[in-house]
Amino acid sequence: MSIQIPRGTQDILPGEVEIWQYIEATAKEVCRQYNYHEIRTPIFEHTDLFQRGVGDTTDIVQKEMYTFEDRGGRSITLRPEGTAAVVRSYVEKKLYGQANQPTKLFYQGPMFRYERPQAGRMRQFVQFGVEALGSADPAIDAEVLALVMSIYAKLGLKNVKLVINSLGDQESRQAHRQALVDHFKPSIAEFCSDCQERLEKNPLRILDCKKDREHPLMGTAPSILDYLNEESQSYFTQVKAYLDALDIPYVVDPTLVRGLDYYYHTAFEVMIDGEGFGAITTICGGGRYTGLVEDIGGPSTPGIGFAFSIERVIMALKAQEVPLPVSTELDCYLISLGEKAKAKTVELLYQLRAAGISSDKDYLDKKMKAQLKAADRLNARYTAILGDDELEKGLIVVKQMESGEQEEVELESFIQYMKQHTQGGN
């Protein structure tokens, strides 16, 4: 019996992988413009990190982590998200001690969550994310939001809606928490067992419950915005003012709470507005976190960031029929006719490649016509045809595929000729 790919994972094959590379390159280019630098952390970490970082009462920690014991008896978890790992590295490598602050990082890589797979929800998915650590200036919140919106604009994504909320500081959240307990407690028996547990541990999570979404008390739950103290209110006002100044449209949704525990003040999601995108409309999530660095053992440091999965961006781009790069082209395809010529093309191919020219040849002893077809299929800009006769005369026939123009070129100057034509802008 053949072995199949695990549920919720996918192979990204040539033809599709170019789209991934293009999105990753676009996101990296925007990060470069914003002075964010790449960090790479391990794919697995100690389980403790996510329990402390993401939060014990979240769905991610309670139900979705890929956790196992390694051969040394340690509890290890495949990372379900990037923020906790970046913060772990920030603390461990003392990045807070570096001269340039805030520390601005981006990352990209596979994340793992044991979720029920559906379109746009995978068990292994690739997140692109950024974290800015070390500044509590609301202008950084606006910068991070501007960064993600610039990536989407550059990709040509339409109907992108930025939804923001404030979860307030410790004091505001405490007041809101009490209001939530008072609101839900009398009827908590009507809620699922998870929510009953959440009531005491973390009532904010009730608002995020997928099972009880339709319960009438959800719609009337106290809004965090009514419990923000003066400082939190002022912070939120400043973030909004910066967004207005940058002409970045947003809507405020007081019910946006996010599925991770570390957020304070600004929380946000980017959604795709409009028909035809299926059940999942959130393509990006993020926000500000205040206690996370301390929880992970570092000095008290504010941070803010976001992450989106490449899978969801591709889904959105495809649903909107945004033109995407599908295939790469080849500079030159070598075609040979005759045994001696065939041997010579091996050498020529090596020289072409060494000169920086992407090139290939036939390895299946195909007839001339089939070789020409292969050149076509590979989108070759040039084909170079070498027969035993030409070889004897020291010549090679070079054809520009688009115009059909053909030229005999001296074998000796062939590599130089190809260099000029493929790299010299001709």
Name the residues that contact ligand HAM, by CB under 6 A. Answer: 81-83, 113, 115, 120-122, 125, 127, 129, 131, 259-260, 282-287, 305-309, 311-312
CB of 304 to ligand HAM, least distance (A): 7
CB of 409 to ligand HAM, least distance (A): 51
Q: Which amino acid is at 48?
A: D
Residue with Cβ nearer ligand HAM (120 or 387): 120
Residue with Cβ nearer ligand HAM (131 or 390): 131
Report yes or no: 33 and 39 within 8 Å, Cβ to Cβ: no
CB of 126 to ligand HAM, least distance (A): 8
How many angstroms separate the CA atoms of 269 and 265, rounded? Answer: 14
Report residue 177 CA to chain centroid gap.
33
288: three-class secondary structure by DSSP: strand
List beta partners, residue 285. 269, 307
How many angstroms separate the CA atoms of 176 and 91, rounded? Answer: 31
Instruction: Of 165, 166, 161, give the one whose Cα is nearest residue 282.
Output: 161
Structure token digits, residue 98: 């570096």
CB of 80 to ligand HAM, least distance (A): 7
User: What is the H or E stretch that residue 271 is in?
Assistant: strand 263-272
CB of 143 to ligand HAM, least distance (A): 14
Q: Is 384 exposed, middle or buried (0-12, 13-18, 19+ CB in 10 A)?
A: buried
CB of 2 to ligand HAM, least distance (A): 26
Residue 320 gets which letter from DSSP?
T
How many angstroms separate the CA atoms of 151 and 149, rounded? Answer: 5
DSSP 115-133: ---BTTB-SEEEEEEEEEE
CB of 341 to ligand HAM, least distance (A): 51
Helices (H), 246-309: 292-295
CB of 123 to ligand HAM, least distance (A): 7
User: What is the H or E stretch that residue 286 is in?
Assistant: strand 282-289
Residue with Cβ nearer ligand HAM (222 or 259): 259
Residue with Cβ nearer ligand HAM (262 or 414): 262
CB of 74 to ligand HAM, least distance (A): 23
Residue with Cβ nearer ligand HAM (24 or 388): 24
Residue with Cβ nearer ligand HAM (55 or 203): 55
Residue with Cβ nearer ligand HAM (173 or 344): 173
CB of 21 to ligand HAM, least distance (A): 18
Residue with Cβ nearer ligand HAM (22 or 114): 114
The two beta strands, 359-361 and 330-337, are: parallel
How many angstroms separate the CA atoms of 24 and 321, rounded? Answer: 19
Q: Residues of 7-30 as b/e, b for ≥16 C-beta within 10 angstroms?
A: ebeeeeeeeeeebeebbeebbbeb
The two beta strands, 406-410 and 395-400, are: antiparallel
Residue with Cβ nearer ligand HAM (306 or 333): 306
Residue with Cβ nearer ligand HAM (134 or 287): 287
Structure token digits, residue 403: 């115009």
